[in-house]
Amino acid sequence: MNLEEIRGQLEAEFTFRAEELYFFKNQIVNTRSEKEAERFRRALVLILYSHFEGFFKFALELYVDELNKANLSRGEVNSRIATAAMFEIFEALKDPNKKCQEFKKGLPEDSKLHTHARSIEFIESYDTLLKAPLKIPSSIVDAESNLKPVIIKKNLYRLGFDYKLYEDIHGQVDYLLKLRNNISHGTTKDGIDKKSYESLEGVVMHIIQSIQVHVFNALKDRSFLKEA
């Protein structure tokens, strides 16, 4: 695991997004009136949200990719990381179409028995499953339709981060999302005043700078390991 390279990737991605955001923001000085500036900020909200969601996903996907390349077994990592790596296995445990071979013909619709049989199979192969190489599916990072506060918490929780990291600013994130959706769907045509925009930008920059630090520190401190 090359920490300097990882730091460089995170910083390059952050710099690209911050510079693009500030490039468009700086164009406001060329507007002819405050009303025109407010219309410009309205469009900026869409860019702001896209970089918010984009960087959040990038950072967590980089974390997953680095873990997958670290030559670890499932048994070496903490419970949340191991569970993430065995996501498909746990989904298979719930598959109602997988029948107990011993009673497949005699009791084809006995869902409780078939579930029990799948659980037995899991327990019998548990040691082997833990010895298998750690491979977390990329789908574990999922912004779903919108990166709402609860979706942020879900992604952080699945990958072993503190899911309460941004609880104090959930209201602002909700507002950003609602505003972005209203603008995208055409349900609001109002411009955005400077104070409101600056507040939203501050929240976004705080989150993406923070998640950058948390991802890097988790890799540096190897907090994904079972001992940690």
- pLDDT, position 96: 62
100 and 202 assigned to the same domain: no
Q: What is the pLDDT of residues 88-147, one digit of tens each?
A: 877 776 766 666 566 655 555 666 777 777 778 778 777 888 899 999 998 999 988 889
Which of 101, 133, 165 is the last residue before a domain boundary? 133
125 and 215 assigned to the same domain: no
Answer whether residue 226 is part of any domain.
no
- pLDDT, position 227: 75
63 and 22 assigned to the same domain: yes
- pLDDT, position 102: 62
177 and 89 assigned to the same domain: no
46 and 159 assigned to the same domain: yes
Which of 116, 133, 150 is the last residue before a domain boundary? 133
Spatial contact of 90 and 83, defined as CB atoms under 8 Å apart: yes
Answer whether residue 211 is part of any domain.
yes
- pLDDT, position 69: 95
The ranges of the chain with pLDDT < 70 are 93, 95-111, 228
Tokens representing residue 24 in the block = 């468009």
- pLDDT, position 32: 87
Spatial contact of 191 and 35, defined as CB atoms under 8 Å apart: yes
Answer whether residue 182 is part of any domain.
yes
115 and 141 assigned to the same domain: no
Residue with tokens 């005699």: 106
13 and 35 assigned to the same domain: yes
For residues 152 and 93, what is the distance between their CA atoms, to the nearest angstrom? 27
How many beta carbons lie within 10 A of that of residue 195, not counting itself?
Answer: 8
- pLDDT, position 218: 96
Which of 133, 152, 180 is the last residue before a domain boundary? 133
142 and 129 assigned to the same domain: no
26 and 124 assigned to the same domain: no
How many beta carbons lie within 10 A of that of residue 177, not counting itself?
Answer: 18
Domain count, the chain: 2
Spatial contact of 31 and 37, defined as CB atoms under 8 Å apart: yes
Q: Which domain holds residue 96?
A: 74-133
